[in-house]
Structure 1
Amino acid sequence: MHLVVVSHACVTDVNQQVYCEIEQLGHRVDIIVPKNFIAPGLTTEPIKVRRWPDFKGRIIEVPIVLNNSIPLHFYKKSLKKIISELNPDAIYVAEEPYSLSCFQVIRNSVPLKKAIGFYSAQNINKNYPFPIKKMENYVYDRSALAISISADVTNVLRTKGYKHSICEIPLGVDEQHFQISCEQKMEARKELSIPNEAFVVGFAGRIVEEKGVDVLCHAMKTCNENNVEMYLLIVGRGPLLKDIKILVTELELTDSVRFVDNASHTDMPKWFNCMDVHVLPSKTKSNWREQFGRVLIEAASCGVPSIGSTCGEIPKVLKTLSMDLVFEEGNVEELTRCLQEAYQTSFSEEDIRSDVIASYGNKGIANKLVEAFERVI
């Protein structure tokens, strides 16, 4: 099978790895990416497109308009000629069905009479205004396959009228890149002036209100007041980074909190290995709830257990990983209890890693993607 993938996420090299696994299965993959994409809230300059070392296919860079928006960006020129020249068996638009780029690619691809699939992680039924709703329906009518990351997403797609094939495939993790590493742990702790024997709690992600970093800071304060000494590592950036730093000062946590606001996705194994426990304290908003929580499986692949809130898919993912430290979202007292329990518990790194690879390893995800597309070709 020859698959053409259109994906803004693949400007980041690690996101190409699952397609390397598809190549390893004997298939051909080419990827079309934006040439000038800016990650909203994370970067202010276009991301330089990098190739994952093991990916063999073509990476075709095409300039986009509205380059700092995921749902609103679109390509400056028609992709019909590019896709036609590539002549694939199937086209995978790894974008949400309501996005302008998904509509554009599928509209360009329909005349080529190829099997077309799209991706969705939208777990809330949102009624978009015209013309977005009309474009979304166009995508539904002309796609043979939807890749849904969860049962909630599947329910949304069916409720909105998508009638064709749906294959539920969760997000995956590159088990070769995200590995247990004592060397990375020692390197990270030395860089951050954290003692090797210290207990480190970590957060990784966007610093925005819905990620609940403030709740984690308050829980850390309570732990310290109860004479449970921990360090907190916050890896990420976003519009509330300055506010969180102010909160850390107000809570008198400055000595025990470390910030890393310049990490790339490729660097993340180092920072996960620095942690003894990872926390995803997300909070539901009116228009958002946690769609999956990829950091949970990336941390687990590094042998690190997670604590998570009850927001969205978090408890389901943790249950799959045989983890039960879950707290009611926004509840500082419950999170404090979970942190103290994690502090007193010995976890098996190898068991954690084994569980995540079995359910979410990219090798298995690649197999599922291939099977899904082969059914509709």
Structure 2
Amino acid sequence: MSSPAPLRIVSIAHPAVSNAAGRLRYRYLASRNDIELHLVLPTVWKEFGRTVMAEPRQEIGYTTHVLPIRLPHAGPMNWYLHFYPGLRRLLRKLDPDVIHLWEEPWSIVALQAQILRARAGLVLEVDQNILKRLPPPFEAIRKYLLRHTDHVLSRSPDATAVVRARGYRGPVTPIGYGVDLTTFTPAPKSAAERNRLFRIGYVGRLVEEKGLDDALDALAKSGAAVSLSIMGEGPHEAKLRQRVQQLALSERVSFRGWGPPAEVASFLQSLDALVLLTRTTNAVREQFGRVIIEAQACGVPVIGSTCGAIPDVVGDGGWIVPERDPARLSELLNAIAQDPALLQAKGLAARANVQARFTYDAVATAVDTACRAAAEAVGHCKR
């Protein structure tokens, strides 16, 4: 008796233009011998002022389809207008059991996939955690997509609440981000590093909402010998540098630009703690904070704010302080700097948090679970 054919999944995912981050989850998913996986991604992607060309194919066990897109970045809707002119032909050829969208439900590409899905189940992976009415026609697109989605993969309880409020009534599977444990891994500190100032750091975009002004104010208030290293770029950098001068922190604060994952890992390994102090606004609520798990994978605990998903992602691997409260942050820095044993224990808990919740295998399992449920919902879990 022949074994059932594998579940054929087509995943449409613009984050997968990068081999180093967006595609690693697919390698783990494709390692399951009862899945036939096809990944669709754009040849060129524009986001946050950067243009990214799709990296050369390095797939193991799955097929990558690099296709041109139309409207990659247009006006105030940024990248949500893009679609694939060649998607109809590809889907007809592949005849998938499930289409998985790593795209938001109001995007044109999500609408395109729904229209072209034929017999396939539809899985949406959602991040948006602020409930707000979208301008026409995007609110109508979102409601339509959510009425026709078979399964949702949700980054946080707040993201689940948003899709529920906009009409989704089906099953939800939680999903985190994964971290490459071969790149982001603990590294022993040299004697010089152990004897230097207590060092906190930040990795990410330099925008006001990330709360780095609070970190600078906390450093100025702190009686402990604490330094701050910042890795990233963004429009708020000039004001941050000016604030460093005003607070006389030039010898304790350093800046450097973006780097590839290996450089980010090396930077994180040099820290005693990472800070992510995002501030909630009408437009911003931290959806996950991927740098949290990258730091924790390096055995570096995280000091996070109460914004959005940060407390849940940090778990036992760090500390949480109120948003916009430099005084509380300063008190915490003073306490941590005087307690090496606490810092070491939190570092071990940070690594354990990642190993338990945020491996790529955990991400692949969540996608697999959702896709099988969606296939069953439309009547063809097995061919």
TM-score, normalized by length of structure 2? 0.87
1:373 corresponding residue in structure 2: 371
Q: Does the CA-based 8 Å contact 2:47-2:79 persist in structure 1?
A: no
1:73 is displaced (CA, Å) by 3.6
Task: Determine the C-alpha separation between the residues in 2 that align with 1:23 and 1:266.
Answer: 25
User: Is it true that 1:23 corresponds to 2:30 in the alignment?
Assistant: yes
Deviation of 1:57 (Å): 2.3
Question: What SS class does the counterpart of residue 38 from structure 1 fall into?
Answer: strand
1:59 paired to 2:64: yes
Task: Give distance in 2, aligned partners of 1:245 and 1:336.
Answer: 20
1:358 corresponds to: 356
Give how far 1:54 is off.
6.0
What residue number does 1:96 align with?
A: 104
Find the counterpart in structure 2 of residue 325 from structure 1.
Answer: 319
1:243 to 2:239 alignment: yes
Q: Deviations over 1:57-80 (max 9, x none)?
A: 222222334434654241251411
Residues 222-250 of structure 1, C-alpha deviation per residue, up to 9 Å, x if partnerless?
22xx2x22221111112212221222222
Amino acid at match of 1:11: V
Structure 2 match to 1:216: 215
TM-fit CA distance, 1:265: 4.2
Cα distance in 2 for residues equivalent to 1:352 and 1:168: 20
Summarize the alignment of residues 33-44 of structure 1 with structure 2, pairs less than 5 Å apart: 33-41=41-49, 43=50
Distance of 1:204 and 1:317 partners within structure 2: 16
1:17 to partner: Cα distance: 0.8
- Match of 1:49? 54
Quote how far apart the aligned CAs of 1:271 are. Answer: 1.7
Cα 1:301–1:282 change in 2 (3 A) is same
Residues 29-84 of structure 1: CA deviation (Å, up to 9, x unaligned): 2221121212214x2xx212225856442222223344346542412514111222
Q: How far is the alpha carbon of 1:316 from its aligned partner? A: 2.1
Deviation (angstroms), 1:97: 0.6
| Secondary structure, counterpart of 2:332 in structure 1 | helix
Match of 1:159 in 2: 165
Aligned residue pairs: how many? 359
Pick one of 177, 180, 184 that aligns with 1:174. 180
| Partner secondary structure for residue 116 of structure 1 | strand
| Secondary structure of 2:89 counterpart | helix
1:195 Cα offset (Å): 5.1
SS at match of 1:181: coil
Whole-angstrom CA distance in 2 between matches of 1:239 and 1:66: 25
| Distance change >3 Å, CA 118–CA 195, structure 1 → 2 | same
Query: CA deviation digits over 1:86-120, x for unaligned, max 9?
Result: 333211110111122222232232xx211111111
Distance 1:257-1:25 versus aligned 2 partners, 3 A rule: same
- CA spacing shift, 1:246–1:257, aligned 2, 3 Å: same
Q: Distance in 2 between matches of 1:28 and 1:70?
A: 32
Q: What's the offset of the Cα at 1:356?
A: 1.7
Contact 1:309–1:326 (CA under 8 A) maintained in structure 2: yes
Q: 1:310 matched to which residue of 2?
A: 306
1:47 aligns to what SS in structure 2?
strand
Q: How does 1:217-296 map to 2 (within 5 A)?
A: 217-223=216-222, 226=223, 228-265=224-261, 267-296=263-292
CA 1:229–1:19 in 2, change beyond 3 Å: closer, same or farther? same
Give the aligned residue type for 2:363.
Answer: I
Residue 341 of structure 1: which of 316, 335, 341 is its match? 335
3-state secondary structure, aligned to 1:75: coil
The alignment-based identity, stated in percent, is 27
Over the residues paired in the alignment, what is the CA RMSD in angstroms?
Answer: 2.2
Where 2:38 maps in the other structure, the secondary structure is strand
Cα distance, 1:275 vs structure 2: 1.0
Higher Cα Rg, which structure: 2
Question: Which consecutive residues of structure 2, in runs of 5 or more, have no partner in the other structure?
Answer: 1-6, 376-383
Give SS of 1:15's match. coil
Change (3 A) 1:180 1:141: same
Aligned residue for 2:245, secondary structure, equals helix
Q: Is the 8 A contact 1:64 1:73 kept in 2?
A: no
- Letter in structure 2 aligned against 1:217: L
Distance 1:97 1:230, change over 3 A: same
Separation in 2, partners of 1:281, 1:219: 12
Displacement, 1:361?
A: 1.6
Amino acid at match of 2:159: V
Query: Where does structure 1 differ by over 6 angstroms across 4 or more consecutive aligned residues?
Result: none
Q: Following the alignment from structure 1 to structure 2, what is the Cα–Cα distance between the partners of residues 344 and 53?
A: 47
Go from structure 1 to structure 2 and tell me whether the alpha carbon gap of 1:81 and 1:39 turns closer, same or farther (over 3 Å shift).
same
State the 1:369 CA deviation: 1.5
Structure 1 Cα separation of the partners of residues 16 and 56 of structure 2? 9
Q: For residues 266 and 60 of structure 1, what CA distance do their matches in structure 2 show? A: 27
Structure 1: gaps of 5 or more residues: none
